[in-house]
Chain A
Amino acid sequence: MEVEVRLFAMLRERAGSGSVTVDLPEGATVREALAAVGARHGLGELIEAMPVVMAVNREYASRDDALSPGDELALIPPVSGGESSFRTGEGYDQFMELIGNHVPRPPGYAELMGARPLLAEPGHVRMEFEASDLFLNPGGAIQGGFLTVMLDETMGPAAISALGPGHTVPTLELKVSFLRPGRVGRLVADARVVHLGKSVVFLEAALTDDDGNVIATSTATARVVRLKDS
């Protein structure tokens, strides 16, 4: 089947056209269509170099989705306003200065958790998270592991903020008390360093919902590791 694929932005410019036509076998997948577009007009390199997605009939499609004749296909390059939500936290600058600029790489799951730094000062970090309905257990409450991630991902930065650049803090022990069921929406974790020793750091954190109810509390102990090449 012949299908027309619409192109935008840098892909459109490279191809010199707003659309290309590709010939695909019946029942071809989005992945095959992408490969076929890549093989034409020198677009392959450009497509491989960036996280493109394909839209089928104006909905974002997975690469395994099968195509039908008459489908409206479009190749969607990365959207330029797609600012990571992490950057929109009101404590972002403080967080980056104290913590973010000193870690080897930001965790990919920060985006999944809808993490945003609200406040960062030495020994004290507050983070906002967005609990998605994908985090619900069969009982309709946020699965405790996700709440634990929120607490842990706030205590870790709190420890780093007290230690300064060039440290990492692998968790040795972590305890969580689940006080109330977590619901979909905004949750705020507040973490503090309780005691900073030479080789271990003691931490505590609380997770609250938008109404100020405490959902979970946690204490943790982490090892203080100095990174060599800093």
Chain B
Amino acid sequence: MSTAVAHARVTEEPLSVEALARLVARPAAGAVVTFQGTTRDVDALEYEAYREMAEQRIAMIAGEAIERHGLEAAAAEHRIGTVRLGEASVIVAVSAAHRSEAFAGAREIIDRIKAGAPIWKKEVEGGEGRWAEGTRAGGDDRHA
């Protein structure tokens, strides 16, 4: 059993990938991989979450990635509310002894958050909002 702790947060505040990278820094970590997903092509995105479940889900996903890839630490945060063009809506940071586990762990976390966390986005263009089409939530439970 790993002693590493997974951090998960859903927040209205702007996200900081640097702060998240500091959170996963460990003496035994030779690699830190960070990812940030940003709003593109539209004026803004409006995110809505089933917040309690989303946080629980993200923590579970990060925890499973720690176990599966032997990570030192993993952290992920998702922003809700209005996220303007170029701003980050989701960030992930993981640390591991070597880069291959770190890349694989970060990749798995972001893919699973996007497929399985109850978070919805509305694309806002010229004052008009439209819910983005989606896929069935929790569809990646083959991992669980």
Contact = CB atoms under 8 A, between A and B. Distances in A.
Nearest to B141: A60
B119 A80 contact: yes
Nearest to A134: B142
A6 B111 CA distance: 26
B52 A78 contact: no
Interface residues of A, number: 30
A58 interface: yes
A83 interface: yes
Contacts of A78: 133-137
Contacts of B142: 112, 114, 130, 132, 134
B113 interface: yes
Contacts of B137: 53, 60, 76-79, 82
Contacts of B63: none
Contacts of B121: 80-81
A114 B112 CA distance: 12
B122 to A, nearest CB: 8
A17 interface: no
Nearest to A60: B138
B43 interface: no
B115 interface: yes
Given A58-B53, A77-B120, A82 B115 contact: yes
Nearest to A113: B142
Chain A interface, DSSP helix/strand/loop, else mixed: mixed
Contact of A8 (B116, B120, B136): B120
B48 A9 contact: yes
A58 B57 CA distance: 8
Given A77-B134, A79-B134, A8 B118 contact: yes
Given A6-B50, A112-B142, A79 B114 contact: yes
A74 B118 contact: yes
Interface-central residue, A51, A74, A78, by most chain B CB under 10 Å? A78
A72 to B, nearest CB: 8
B114 A83 contact: yes
Contacts of B116: 79, 82
Interface in A177-219: 186
A79 B116 CA distance: 7
14 contacts: A9-B48, A9-B122, A74-B53, A76-B137, A79-B114, A79-B119, A79-B135, A80-B120, A80-B132, A80-B133, A81-B37, A81-B114, A81-B119, A82-B139
Interface of B: 37, 48-50, 52-53, 56-57, 90, 104, 111, 113-122, 131-143
Given A9-B122, A76-B137, 5 more contacts: A53-B137, A58-B56, A60-B137, A81-B117, A130-B142
Nearest 10 A/B pairs, CB to CB: A78-B134, A82-B135, A81-B114, A80-B132, A9-B120, A60-B138, A51-B136, A58-B53, A80-B121, A132-B142
